[in-house]
Structures are given as structure tokens and as C-alpha cells.
Structure 1
Amino acid sequence: MDSPADEARQPPASVAELLGALDRIDESLPKRLKQCAICLRGNLDRVAVSTVADMAQLADVPPSAFMRFCQTLGFSGYSEMQALFRAEYAQLRPDYTERLSMLRAEGASGAGRLAASFAEAGVKSLMDMSNELDGRQLQAVAERLAAARTIHLIGLRRAFAVVVYFAYLLDKMGVASMLHHTTGQIESDHAIGADDALFAVTFAPFSQETLTLASRVGARSIPVLALSDTTMCPLGDVAEQLLIAREVEVGGFRAPNAAMALVTALAVAIGGLRKERA
């Protein structure tokens, strides 16, 4: 009798194929792998931005079990499966009309209920960030930015609020900064000098404009520091340090609670370092 792994030797070429393969082998999966299957179906939008440890925690299984689950589906491991989801991430995430419909279907569209849900998600995001925070890495980012003549900031779409607030805090600290926003598709990276540094923020699905600017700046040997919601962010290829701030969702909506906390800490730390060196 063939095992589930035998039935899924070839990795699926699309998420649709993956789900079809999962349907065929679902009944024959051991208990822990079945938990992984249930978790995967219920969190398709999270795979592209989550680590194997994150998904294993959601499934309430050890990471090794989730790895075996990926191999059962025909992948060499979690990274290969995640690459498939990353390629289709934009299509998997529902648009805002669909997200609101989902909230209404769940009976969670009232303003009071939504406020409570977002508050709970915010607390969870902040606690997760605090538990996973690498203080030495954050300090290294603060010191690198504090040493820059001017701190350049880029973050578009959902990340825009984060860099705007960062710029506001830096201004209050008396730290020179410049916000890049690509208005009119004007490329302003010529303003970034050799003594400067770039802080780039992008969350999945990633902003190509942000990635392009970071790549051009990094190619000039100018320090690039970055913030994202996944270690798989392409900024990791050009940034000296990549900070991670994951947000808990409410019906597909994500408020940048952890990201705001991180840039606030950075701004205050940078201000303190500048005063020490004055």
C-alpha cells in the first residue's frame, strides 16, 4: 500500500494543485500531519510570511512534524513550499471588499467588536515581538543609523504610516532625515550620500519600488537597514540588518502595532546616542 508520501512525490506547481493533492491524501495522514493540513487550509495567507516554527505553533505540532508534512506533499522542505505561496501571495490575499464581507459573516463588523478585536490582536503582536526581540540586533541598527549624517526613509503602502511616524520622531529628536515617497515617479536616491544610511520598510506583498531603491543604494556601499514581517523578505539580500515585526490579523486586516513600537524604540535610542556623541 502506498504511503501519503508515495502519492505526492512531485511537488505541486501551484497552490491549487497543492490543495488538490492534500484532498487526495487527507484521510490517510497521521494525526499530527492532519493537524498540519487543517492549519494550512485555514491559514493560506500566512504561509508566505511565516516561518516553519510559526506554522507549527498554529498547528500545535513540533516544527519537525510540519517539515514532514511539507515532504509528504512532495516538497524538499518548508522553504520550497513557502516559495510556491510567495509566488501566489498577492492572489491569495482577499481584497478589502472580500475582507469586510468575511468580517460581516463572522459577526465582527460592529465598531465596538472590531475595536476590541484589533486591541486584542495588537496586544498579541506586541507580546510576540517582545518575546522574539533580539536586543543586540536592534541596538546595532540604532548605532548604525545614529552614525549617519542623514537617515533616509522609504516605505510605501501599508509601510508608509510606519516611516512617516519614524520621520516625525526623528525630527523631534533633532535628527536629520529624508522621507522618500516616489511621488510622480521621481527617483531621489541621488540625494543619499556616502555618509548617509537608508532605512527601508516593506511588508508582504513587498513594494517593488522599496526593493529597487534599497538595491541601488546598497550597490553604492551605503548602509541599508530594513524592517519587514518575514525573514524571507528580499530586503534581507541587501540590508546589513533585517528587523522583523509580525502583526496578528483581524479578518485579513493588519494594524502596524509591532512595527510602530520598533521604530519608536529606534528613534528614542538614536536620539540618545546622538546626545552622547555631541
Structure 2
Amino acid sequence: MVEREVDGYAPTAVVDASVIPTVRAKLPEFTGALQRVAELVLADPASAARSTIVELAERSGTSPATVTRFCRALGFEGYADLRLGIAAETGRARAAGWSVDIGREIEPGDPLTKVLEQVMAADTRAMHDTAALLDLSEVERAAQAIAGASRVSIFGASGSALVGEEMQFSLHRIGVAAWAWTDVHNGLASAALSRPGDVALGISHSGQTRETIEMLAEAGSHGATTIALTSFPRSALAELADVVLLTATQATTFRPDALSARHPQLVVLDLLYVAVAQRTHQRSHAAFQRTAQAVDPHKAAKHGDPGANRHSLH
């Protein structure tokens, strides 16, 4: 294949590479119509492989010429080659057991073995996709900011709030002063006290949760470094953040997108937590020792005595 630059985008050799991760990697480089085509392909690769160039153009609100430019920016000669590449990749994913009829709704009478297969397939694919989508340089920036932060404020609502509380607990265990805020009033009050050297992390799958956007924006206006964890790079939350961490979801008929995002979010935050611990190794190690000693008397009894640590009832 002869590579040539197309409208400022250097083509990517994709003969031996996976198409979808390549599209994700180049997504930040695309703007306007090309970005809409890319996001549509990422949202439903199998559908893109079945669509004609005209259908894909109509669904993305672009034109066949734009779709052709998109294909060439990826290193393909045309849309037919892109379709073949996506079809081959989705076929490999099915053969590898990543997606076993994920889109089919689970029936009330389905056995738990099949339900487990469906859930595991969806979560596995979402986490693999997140790994391909994640920009590790952004994770590095976020880790450096948190490692040197005076305090970390974490904002989220509903399911994102639960994920935020997990991160707050993890950071607290390694000696990072972190608070998770779910109430918008308390969160805004905390954000208003932010200053340079602080970090604010906003978590929202859609990136459109108003309360989370307001709290992150308030913290940023006072000089805090802002981090967004979202599935949508063009969302309002991502647009206002200094650092953006992206997750992928595997949409299913049995679980809403927001719930599907939970496990990928936890994976990204686990990676971020470990990266922070690496950069504060001495402090983190000392914190682990102290916290372990503090809670050790309340753990299950050692040496086979199940009642040794129980409080007396008398």
C-alpha cells in the first residue's frame, strides 16, 4: 500500500493492525465531519461493516466523500477495504469469545451459565476497548498531578459517585488527602475552596451530568488541575478538563450504558491509583504499614481461633 497524506492526516498502515484501536488512537486528531464518522464507527463497528458508504454518510450526517477521506486517513484505499477490515476484526473478536451475541436480550428463562457468559463477554470487551482507547500520557499527567496535590476532590453522581468513592478510599490508604463529593451543594462549597496545587476529578460516563460539570468547573476556576473520566471526548466535561481519561463501553440490551461504564471506569482508576502509588512509593509504603497495623486487630482471628478477636458479650 502506498501511503500518502490526506487533508493533513498521515495515513496509518492497518494491514497488520486492528482497525478499531487505530480509529480510537486517531480520534483526537479528527475534527468536524471526520470525527463524526469515526465516532459512529466506534459506536457500532458491526453495523458500519454492514452499511454502504451512502448509509454510513447519512447516519453520520456527512457525505460519501467525507467517508472516503476518513478511510484514506486510516490508510485504506477506499470504503470497501475499511468494511473488510472491520468485518475481519469483529469476526476475530467473536472467535476469541469476546462477544457472544452481546446484543441479544437475556430472556427470563435463560440459565445462569448463559447470563454469566453474556455479562463476562460484555465486560471483557469493554475493558479491552478501554485499554486500546486510553491515552497513557494523560494517565501520566493525572498521576503526577495527584501525587503532588495538596488535596484531591472527586465529583460524581449516581453510579459515578460509587466509583468516585472507591477511588477516594484507595487514595486515602496511600496517604493522599482525598474527598468524594456527591451532593452538589457540598461539592460546590469544597470546589470554591480549591487553589493551585489541588486536583479535582470529575466522573461521568456521558460527560453531560450538570452537577458534575458545575463542580469541576468551580474547582478549575480557582486554579485546581481538573481531570475528567468519561466515555465521550467531545462532552462538556471533557472540554473543560485539563486532563481527559477515556473509557469505552459495550452497550447491551440488558444493561444501560451508564452501568456498562462502571467496570471500565474502575479499571482506569485502578491504573491511576497504582501510578500515583508508584510516584509516592515511600509515602505510600509507610501509609500501607500504618493502616494495616491499625485495622489488624479487627480482622478475623489468626491461628485457627475464630473467637479470639471478638468482643465479649459479658
User: What TM-score, normalized by structure 2, do the two folds share?
Assistant: 0.57
Q: Which residue of 2 aligns with 1:217?
A: 219
Q: Deviations over 1:143-196 (max 9, x none)?
A: 122121111101111211211111111112221101111177673223433321
Is 1:122 the counterpart of 2:123 in the alignment?
yes
Provide the C-alpha distance between the structure 1 equivalents of 2:203 and 2:211, rounded to a whole number of angstroms.
11
Is 1:52 the counterpart of 2:40 in the alignment?
yes
Q: Which residue of 2 aligns with 1:261?
A: 267
1:231-270 equivalences in 2 (<5 Å): 231-251=233-253, 252-253=255-256, 254-255=259-260, 256-270=262-276
Instruction: Report the 3-state secondary structure (helix = DSSP H, G, I; strand = E; otherwise coil) of the residue aligned with 1:149.
Output: coil
Structure 1 unaligned segments of length 5 or more: list them.
1-47, 79-101
Residues 228, 241 of structure 2: 8 Å contact kept: yes
Q: Which residue of 1 aligns with 2:167?
A: 166
Provide the C-alpha distance between the structure 2 equivalents of 1:224 and 1:57, rounded to a whole number of angstroms.
32
Residues 167, 273 of structure 2: 8 Å contact kept: yes
Instruction: Report the 3-state secondary structure (helix = DSSP H, G, I; strand = E; otherwise coil) of the residue aligned with 1:60.
Output: helix
Q: Which residue of 1 aligns with 2:281?
A: 275
Report the alpha carbon displacement of residue 241 of structure 1 after superposing the two structures with TM.
1.3
Instruction: Report the 3-state secondary structure (helix = DSSP H, G, I; strand = E; otherwise coil) of the residue aligned with 2:163.
Output: helix
Report the alpha carbon displacement of residue 204 of structure 1 after superposing the two structures with TM.
2.0
Q: Which residue of 2 aligns with 1:93?
A: none
Provide the C-alpha distance between the structure 2 equivalents of 1:180 and 1:132, rounded to a whole number of angstroms.
27
Q: Which residue of 2 aligns with 1:148?
A: 149
Count of equivalent residues: 206
Instruction: Report the 3-state secondary structure (helix = DSSP H, G, I; strand = E; otherwise coil) of the residue aligned with 1:154.
Output: strand
Letter in 1 for 2:201: F
Report the alpha carbon displacement of residue 117 of structure 1 after superposing the two structures with TM.
1.4
Bigger relative CO (Cα 8 Å, ≥ 6 apart): 1
Provide the C-alpha distance between the structure 1 equivalents of 2:231 and 2:280, rounded to a whole number of angstroms.
28
Q: Deviations over 1:186-240 (max 9, x none)?
A: 7322343332110110122732110111112222232101100111221122101
Instruction: Report the 3-state secondary structure (helix = DSSP H, G, I; strand = E; otherwise coil) of the residue aligned with 1:61.
Output: helix
Residues 117, 250 of structure 1: 8 Å contact kept: no
Instruction: Report the 3-state secondary structure (helix = DSSP H, G, I; strand = E; otherwise coil) of the residue aligned with 1:152.
Output: strand
Greater Cα radius of gyration, structure 1 or 2 = 2
Kindly, what percent of the aligned residue pairs are identical? Answer: 13
Is 1:134 the counterpart of 2:115 in the alignment?
no
Instruction: Report the 3-state secondary structure (helix = DSSP H, G, I; strand = E; otherwise coil) of the residue aligned with 1:224.
Output: strand
CA, structure 1 residues 108+210, in 2 after alignment: closer, same or farther (shift >3 Å)? farther
Task: Choose the corresponding residue for 1:196, options 191, 195, 198.
Answer: 198
CA, structure 1 residues 141+103, in 2 after alignment: closer, same or farther (shift >3 Å)? same
CA, structure 1 residues 213+108, in 2 after alignment: closer, same or farther (shift >3 Å)? farther
Q: Deviations over 1:72-95 (max 9, x none)?
A: 789xx89xxxxxxxxxxxxxxxxx
Letter in 1 for 2:120: A
Is 1:69 the counterpart of 2:58 in the alignment?
yes
Pairwise CA RMSD of aligned residues?
3.4
User: What TM-score, normalized by structure 1, do the two folds share?
Assistant: 0.63
1:15-30 equivalences in 2 (<5 Å): none
Instruction: Report the 3-state secondary structure (helix = DSSP H, G, I; strand = E; otherwise coil) of the residue aligned with 2:265.
Output: helix
Provide the C-alpha distance between the structure 2 equivalents of 1:244 and 1:207, rounded to a whole number of angstroms.
16
